[in-house]
Amino acid sequence: MIEFIDVSVTYPNDIQALRDINLKIEKGEFAFVVGPTGTGKSTLLKLTYKEETPTEGRVIVAGRDVTKLRGGAVARLRHGIGVVFQDFRLLPQKTAYENVAFALYVTGASRKEMRIRVPEVLDLVGLSDRSDAYPHQLSGGEQQRVSIARALVHNPPILLADEPTGNLDPDTSWDIVQLLARINIRGTTVLVASHDQHIVDRMNKRVIALDRGMIARDEEKGRYYELAKP
């Protein structure tokens, strides 16, 4: 589903965000990308939906070389990738329903499609009874659920989450990650950048650890930190 081939990213100030990344995320997989702040986690996700472009190498998503996409092809790529951010990025003047519906509106969806699809995803994230609430009336966890609903409204095969629990308390963080796990069970490929050691260790999923822009470790059922060998 997602493949990085000899990918490096060097910014104009000569800071190297990623170096020689070779990585494959299979269809339907759930994986964490972990590592200290500034080690390239967000850059890795941004490459997937072409928010960033590699200095070297290729990024393949669903069989397409993302590095070669332009214009409308980039829009079609992003249509198939849901993205969830740490800071929610909701429109403050719109209700939960309207925030989710807006993601359909900007792609030209009909009002009929909105009336069907928006309640479906709000129900999926457990917010059917909060659809008329504005962001300032919602808790942090509820705002993140709206963000997830918005990311899912196009029924994308890939969901990327960049530090989705960074602004949440531990119990709410666990609820959000469990929601992402349920979405994964439905068939969506989920890739989560996280520095939440407790969550990563408790989930027991694939862990891709970055260190100074390189893959230091890739374990099928991993932990945030590598366990000391006896």
Angle between the N-to-C axes of helices 96-105 and 140-152, in degrees from 0 to 180, rounded to the nearest 10: 20
The answer to the question of residue 94 being in a domain is no
Asked if residue 217 is part of any domain, the answer here is: yes
Is residue 32 a part of any domain in this protein? yes
pLDDT at 107: 85
- Domain assignment present for 17: yes
- Within a domain: residue 116? no
Reported as a pLDDT band with limits 50, 70 and 90, residue 227 is: low
What is the tens place of the pLDDT at every residue in 144-202?
999 999 999 999 999 999 999 988 999 999 999 999 999 999 999 999 999 999 999 99
CATH number of the domain encompassing residue 56: 3.40.50.300
If we measure between CA atoms, which residue out of 208, 214, 181 comes closest to residue 194? Answer: 208
Q: Could you tell me if residue 28 is inside a domain?
A: yes
Inside any domain, residue 5 = yes
How many domains does one find in the chain?
1
46-89, pLDDT tens digit by residue? 999 999 999 999 999 999 999 999 888 998 898 899 999 989 99
| Domain assignment of residue 37, given as a range | 1-80+194-223
Strands 189-194 and 30-34: parallel
Give the burial class of 187: count Cβ atoms within 10 A of its Cβ; 0-12 exposed, 13-18 middle, 19 or more buried: exposed
Is residue 164 domain-resident?
no
Instruction: Output Rg (C-alpha) for the chain, integer angstroms.
Output: 18
